[in-house]
Structure 1
Amino acid sequence: MRMSTWIRQHLAALRALLVLTVITGIAYPLVIFAIAQLPGLHDKAEGSLLRQDGKVVGSSLIGQAYTDGKGTALNQYFQTRPSNAAPSDGSIPDGYDPTNSSFGNQGPESVVDTLDPDDPKKDKTALLSTVCSRSQAVASLENVDGSRPFCTSGEVGAVLSVIGPRDAKGTVENPVRVVSVNEDCRVTKTPFLAFYKGVAVECAKPGADYSAGQIVPVRGDASADTPVPTDAVTASASGLDPDISPAYAAIQIPRVAKARGITEDRVRALVDADTHGRVLGFAGEPRVNVVELNLALDRQYPYRG
């Protein structure tokens, strides 16, 4: 009797396994495949591929780096936002490697650089200093003001370690020492701020530990309304985002128009045509697909070099 029950239970389990295998392993994939072949859905199912002269040149879903391969921007193209999707071997220095999608894993509290005592090239840059340096690089390329509120003129975060006794709130009111933690003494002899609460500010010595002090970002005089938008200096979560903000596209129009020898109005018209609104009218922000925009530029106004 027990054996008969055991056999019936296992036969029922086997039948359930076979039925579910047919449904989820065969029928469901076939139905989805058939739906993907419908007009209007087929191209998306194939990867939203973009073609130029009959050749696949990319996807509207994955960004590309428009540089010379060494990090130098090509003036005839709109630039994408920074990318963290780069192989560790440096074979694709500008990122946008679809096999290595990644994020920087840094947040708003990432404001203190780690200065290597032996080799400055091995410094670990905090998000704030990364934003500062990227902002100045974009500003230089686009001929705009790249200063930002918490950045020094040396393109690092304006952050102090204020050392001294703390009050009940953890604030150092009477410091005995103040260090500009992101300004390397090997590079910067005069810190961005001469004095803080009456104490002379020092530059940072690589390898020294200033964590005992109160970390104080200094806002500075730069306007918060910077011409260089946030997406121009921060990477997306995937590192593969093909879109930029209309504001970032706008500051690039003069450079691209000059490089291609056409009027800014013609370039602006292409930007407007490639600007997409919020998803479903409310989700996200307006965006410009850089890959599609650059392909449209090449089709209508080829670069003569």
Structure 2
Amino acid sequence: MPTSVLRTALRHGWAGARMILVMTVILGIAYPLLMTGFAQVVVPHRADGSPVSRSGRDVGSSLIGQSFAGRPDYFQSRPSAAGDGYDPLASSASNLGPTSPELVKAVEERRAAASRLDGTDPAKVAPDALTASGSGLDPDISPAYADQQVGRVAAARHLDPGVVRRLVDASTTPRTLGFLGEPRVNVLMLNLALDRESSAG
């Protein structure tokens, strides 16, 4: 290889290496630090993951669902396919198609479990009790699924069903801007409201 060609190749290689180094510092270090600082100033609660505290202790996040399985006195969350369930490090759907025998089996198992737990006709079990969300971390359920659980939760807590239903209504968020998405109920916030109601009673 002629010396001039080698020098040109080395010069271009060194220019490329410097560009990688500069862009790594700018986009890999400076920009993330700048955005993190901006978020901490403008929206600190969201920047920290929207933690929810009770009695000075973090009990979850308003943005990430969690399991309340085995607790009939709490509203149950939507099923999760993220890792072992609600694992933010393994956020994903099951990626099973609508004709997948595995998905059909899982849906039927969830239908039977929800029907037994809530005393609901299997044909009337809310759809979000049967399928996991795309992220596997959905913190919300539909008002229909919440309504399905009112009787069971009220009985477990010895509360009037009307009181529990009012808590559901108070915890229901309408469509964003009045037309985006669907009304939803944040399960963690509703369960914390239930705890406060039970303590007050």
Provide TM-score, normalisation by structure 1. 0.57
**Aligned-partner SS, 1:140:** helix
Corresponding residue of 2:75: 78
Corresponding residue of 1:135: 111
What is the deviation of 1:137? 2.2
CA distance in 2, matches of 1:35, 1:272: 35
Corresponding residue of 1:63: 65
Distance 1:232 1:18, change over 3 A: closer
Distance 1:26 1:133, change over 3 A: closer
What is the deviation of 1:258? 1.9
CA contact (8 A) 1:260 1:303 kept: no
Q: Residues 46-98 of structure 1, C-alpha deviation per residue, up to 9 Å, x if partnerless? A: 11111111011111122111123xxxxx22100112222344xxxxxxx3333
CA contact (8 A) 1:76 1:303 kept: no
1:104 to 73, 94, 99: 94
- Aligned identity (percent) is 51
Corresponding residue of 2:40: 37
Letter in 2 for 1:78: F
CA contact (8 A) 2:128 2:145 kept: yes
Letter in 1 for 2:36: F
Distance 1:139 1:42, change over 3 A: same
Aligned residues: 198
Letter in 2 for 1:296: A
CA contact (8 A) 1:81 1:232 kept: yes
What is the deviation of 1:14? 5.6
In the TM superposition, 1:71-220 aligns within 5 A as 74-87=71-84, 95-110=85-100, 112=101, 126-147=102-123
Moved more, 7-16 or 276-285: 7-16
Letter in 2 for 1:134: R
Letter in 1 for 2:68: Y
**What residue ranges of structure 1 are gaps of 5+ in the alignment?**
69-73, 88-94, 113-125, 148-226
What is the deviation of 1:132? 2.6
CA distance in 2, matches of 1:97, 1:12: 42
Q: Residues 83-117 of structure 1, C-alpha deviation per residue, up to 9 Å, x if partnerless? A: 22344xxxxxxx3333443432322212x4xxxxx
Provide TM-score, normalisation by structure 2. 0.82
Corresponding residue of 1:223: none
Superposition RMSD on alpha carbons, in Å? 2.8
Moved more, 5-14 or 262-271: 5-14
CA distance in 2, matches of 1:14, 1:145: 66
Corresponding residue of 2:26: 23
Distance 1:56 1:10, change over 3 A: same
**Aligned-partner SS, 1:38:** helix
The structure with the largest alpha-carbon Rg is 1
**Aligned-partner SS, 2:122:** coil
CA contact (8 A) 2:126 2:148 kept: no
More strand by proportion, 1 or 2?
Answer: 1
Q: Residues 192-243 of structure 1, C-alpha deviation per residue, up to 9 Å, x if partnerless? A: xxxxxxxxxxxxxxxxxxxxxxxxxxxxxxxxxxx21111111122322211
Q: Residues 102-141 of structure 1, C-alpha deviation per residue, up to 9 Å, x if partnerless? A: 432322212x4xxxxxxxxxxxxx3223323322321222
More helix by proportion, 1 or 2?
Answer: 2
